[in-house]
Amino acid sequence: MLGIVVLLLWAHAGSSAGAQGVVPKRLLFVVGRAFGKDFSGPSGVWYDAKHGEIYVADTGNHRLVVLDDRGMPKAELMRTVERAGSTKPIAGEPSRIAVNSGGDMFVVDVLADYVDMCDYRGRSLRQISLRDFAEAAKRVGAPANEPVSPLDLKATAVTVDSKDNIYIACRARIYVFSPTFKLLRAIGAKGSEPGQFTAITSLWVDAAGLIYVTDARALAVHVLAADGTVLVAFGQHDSGVTNFGLPIGITTDLRGNIWVADTLRHIVSVFRRTGNKVEYLDYIGTLGTRGGEFAYPSGLTASSTGRMLVVDRVGCRVQCFEM
């Protein structure tokens, strides 16, 4: 059993007068099992439009799963990580993944203090440790006198842009690297004001180079220019359609609308940005395990081909929507 359900259904959505034509047209498929195992707490997903492949960070099964664009399993890449002070690798718990144009993967792992760059077969090519760049970060934007602890240097999110620049977030900062791993910029500082962060949970960079960030404690959503200038920041951790329970994933669609996964509300909300203002449009989802429903969504991504993928941590599956 492959655990694939193909559905041609309208996604469950809320109602908003400004949202006509915004919500996904249909749910293409749901995958909850691959290579003889049910997904276990998946928390990251990436769509590689160039190769027509979907990458799922299947956290609880210590693996990355590669699906084709119909949701059929193609590869299973078991993960191990190195721990300081240990001579033996241990089973990893991959949580976030991004793939560049050459097919190289960048993997954030719950148990690792580095981001692993791997080839398309999962073989480690390079380990990127943020602690190696802590001093250099002060020369490219990080506050010079801000105290930095080991937890401040543990990666929490990763993404790549159309030029293969690499963006790695820790709790309160975003490190931007060139494809050759030169540190270009350090964006953000500790705090709760626009452009400041406390607990970054996800990253996305759109085709224009704008940076999108979610934070679990400070302002929930930030949209930044490529140099880190704040364009808009919004969302308290409170009730209300422009607020959030726990934002944990972010992406944009072909129209530039902003989609945010809220794990505690079991929905994905959509917003339209105009300058420094944001308009709430609609949402998809509700708590459940049927197609178009979510059980603690833990990550999402979109593609240039008009697809959006959402992974459920408790629902243990990935759903693919046509936008």
Residue 172 in contact with residue 188, Cβ under 8 Å?
yes
| pLDDT-based confidence at residue 248 (cuts at 50, 70, 90) | very high
CB under 8 Å to 36, separation ≥6 — which residues?
Answer: none
Bigger pLDDT: 150 vs 11: 150
Residue 63 in contact with residue 77, Cβ under 8 Å?
yes
Distance of CA 259 to the CA centre of its chain: 11
Secondary structure letter of residue 213 according to DSSP = E
pLDDT at 204 over 60: yes
All structural domains of the chain: 4-14+22-322 (2.120.10.30)
Bigger pLDDT: 87 vs 43: 43
Q: Give me the pLDDT at residue 8, please.
A: 44
Among 109, 37, 42, smallest CA distance to 312 is for: 42
| pLDDT-based confidence at residue 19 (cuts at 50, 70, 90) | low
pLDDT at 11 over 60: no
| pLDDT-based confidence at residue 84 (cuts at 50, 70, 90) | confident
pTM here is: 0.94
Average pLDDT along the chain: 92
pLDDT at 35 over 50: yes
Q: Give me the pLDDT at residue 103, please.
A: 93
| pLDDT-based confidence at residue 20 (cuts at 50, 70, 90) | low
Reading the block at residue 309, the tokens are: 């993928």
Q: Give me the pLDDT at residue 75, please.
A: 97
DSSP state letters, 61-126:
GTEEEEEETTS-EEEEEE-EE--TT-SS-EE--EEEEEE-TTS-EEEEETT-SSEEEE-TTS-EEE
Among 169, 231, 166, 167, smallest CA distance to 194 is for: 231
CA-to-CA dists, residue 233 to 73, 183, 261, angstroms: 38, 25, 16
- The per-residue pLDDT for range 102-119, each reduced to its tens digit, is 999 999 999 999 999 999
DSSP state letters, 259-292:
EEEETTTTEEEEEEEETTEEEEEEEE--BSSSTT
pLDDT at 15 over 50: no
Among 226, 292, 224, smallest CA distance to 8 is for: 292
CA dihedral 23, 29, 34, 40 (to 10 degrees): 30
Q: What percent of the chain has pLDDT over 70?
A: 93
pLDDT at 18 over 60: no
pLDDT at 85 over 90: no
- The per-residue pLDDT for range 170-193, each reduced to its tens digit, is 999 999 999 999 999 999 999 999
| pLDDT-based confidence at residue 10 (cuts at 50, 70, 90) | very low
**Residue range 90-100: average pLDDT?**
97
